[in-house]
Structures are given as structure tokens and as C-alpha cells.
């Protein structure tokens, strides 16, 4: 009988110990969940604070800026996808098209498609926006500059073309070749300098285009 009572007491102690352990685990899990929620709230607050941490002081995310398509094709930008659904899509139908976009929209586009802005495909007509986004502007060129480089009148035009994003450079070279096919006049020395800088033969590109037009 005494042995039975001893076993019962031991069992009760084990049950009590297990319950205390479970309670501690539950308390720790609850504390961990609370810490996670606090961390999430802190990160959200830090994200919101970014809008006021620039040199210009407070930033108006609703302010609109003129944004140009500097590719020689249709340019489609968005703030990303949720599943198969494209978010906030913007379409620029041709070179030089522009839209007035809110800073918040530009930031979303940059987060989803950084090359579009880093590569100068979408040109924002405001240097402070680039500073806000943290974009290096060393290879960013304005619409005015991009309008004139295809004429290839100066050595600077050649230098700019050489420093363009790969896709923009390819499109610009093709446009120059198309203009030559259409009898636009170019300085031969500038064409040779471009060949030397880029390791291409733009005269051959032009001749190949002419052959295609003739059906050869």
C-alpha cells in the first residue's frame, strides 16, 4: 500500500513538473510572438521614417515628377507582381514619351525593376529623386543629351554612347545605322572613333541593314 502511495505521489510530481514546463514554454512562445510583433512595428516605423531622412528634409511621396522613356521601343514598367497580376503597370509607347509619376510610384518601380532607372531607360527629370533613391548618376543622361548623341557630332557624343547601359547602347547604335541607311550624313572620323571605342563596325551594320531591305 505504501509503495502504491509512493508511485502515485511521484506521478503527481511528474505531472506537476510537466505542466510547469508547458506553462514556461507557452509563456516563452507568447513572449517571442510579442517580440516579433514589436520588431515588425519597428521595421515599419523605420521604413516610414526613410521619407524624412534625406538632405532635402521632408519628402512628399505624392509629388509628381516627369519621367521619360529613353529607350527606342515600348517601355513597360511596374511595381512588381502579386502572383500573375502585374501591379501599377505604366506603358510608354515610344522614345520620348513621358508620364507624371508620384515619387511613391517611382520608388516602387525602382524596388521592382532597378535596372530601368539605374540603366537610364526611364529618365526622371529631377536630380533630387535620384539622390533620394540612392542612384549613381554617372551613367544617367538627360533626354536632351540622348536626343543629340545619335547625330554623333562631337567626341563627347561618342564617349556618352560608350558609357551607356548595354541595351541603350545597342539601341543607339542601331538607330545611327538606320539613319545612315536613310542617307543621314555622319563625320567619318566620329564613326571610326565609335568603332574603336566599342569594338564594332558600324559601317558593316549599316550595310547589313541595306541588304535586308533589298531582300538579299
pLDDT at residue 54 in the model: 44
Q: What is the pLDDT of residue 35?
A: 64
pTM: 0.69
Would the CA dihedral through 148, 152, 154, 155 be positive or negative?
A: positive
> How are strands ordered across the β-sheet holding 64-69?
98-102, 64-69, 122-124
Which of left, alpha, beta for 75 (phi over 0: left; psi -120 to 50: alpha)?
beta
The 10s digit of each residue's pLDDT in 93-105 is 999 999 999 999 9
Distance CA 64, CA 103 (A): 6
pLDDT exceeds 90 at position 37: no
In sequence order, what are the residues at sequence separation of 6 or more whose Cβ sits closer than 8 angstroms to the Cβ of residue 90?
76, 77, 78, 99, 101, 105, 109
Pairwise CA distance, residues 85 & 187, whole Å: 49
Q: pLDDT tens digit string along 60-93?
A: 999 999 999 999 999 999 876 555 554 678 999 9
Indicate the average pLDDT of the chain: 83
pLDDT of 196-212, one tens digit each?
999 999 999 999 999 99
Amino acid at each position: 500500500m505504501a509503495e502504491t502511495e509512493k508511485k502515485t505521489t511521484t506521478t503527481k510530481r511528474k505531472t506537476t513538473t510537466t505542466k510547469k514546463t508547458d506553462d514556461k514554454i507557452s509563456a516563452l512562445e507568447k513572449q517571442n510572438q510579442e517580440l516579433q510583433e514589436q520588431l515588425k512595428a519597428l521595421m515599419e516605423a523605420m521604413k516610414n521614417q526613410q521619407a524624412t531622412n534625406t538632405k532635402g528634409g521632408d519628402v512628399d511621396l505624392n509629388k509628381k515628377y516627369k519621367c521619360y522613356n529613353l529607350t527606342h521601343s515600348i517601355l513597360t514598367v511596374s511595381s512588381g507582381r502579386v502572383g500573375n497580376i502585374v501591379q501599377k503597370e505604366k506603358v510608354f509607347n515610344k522614345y520620348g514619351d513621358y508620364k507624371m509619376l508620384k515619387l511613391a510610384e517611382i520608388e516602387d518601380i525602382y524596388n521592382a525593376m532597378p535596372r530601368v532607372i539605374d540603366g537610364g531607360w526611364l529618365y526622371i527629370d529631377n536630380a533630387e529623386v535620384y539622390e533620394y533613391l540612392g542612384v549613381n548618376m554617372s551613367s544617367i543622361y538627360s533626354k536632351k543629351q540622348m536626343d543629340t548623341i545619335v547625330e554623333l557630332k562631337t567626341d563627347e557624343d561618342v564617349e556618352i554612347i560608350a558609357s551607356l547601359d548595354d541595351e541603350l547602347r545597342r539601341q543607339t547604335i542601331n538607330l545611327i545605322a538606320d539613319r545612315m541607311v536613310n542617307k543621314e550624313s555622319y563625320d567619318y572620323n566620329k564613326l571610326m572613333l565609335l568603332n574603336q571605342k566599342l569594338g564594332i563596325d558600324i559601317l558593316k551594320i549599316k550595310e547589313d541593314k541595306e541588304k535586308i531591305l533589298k531582300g538579299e
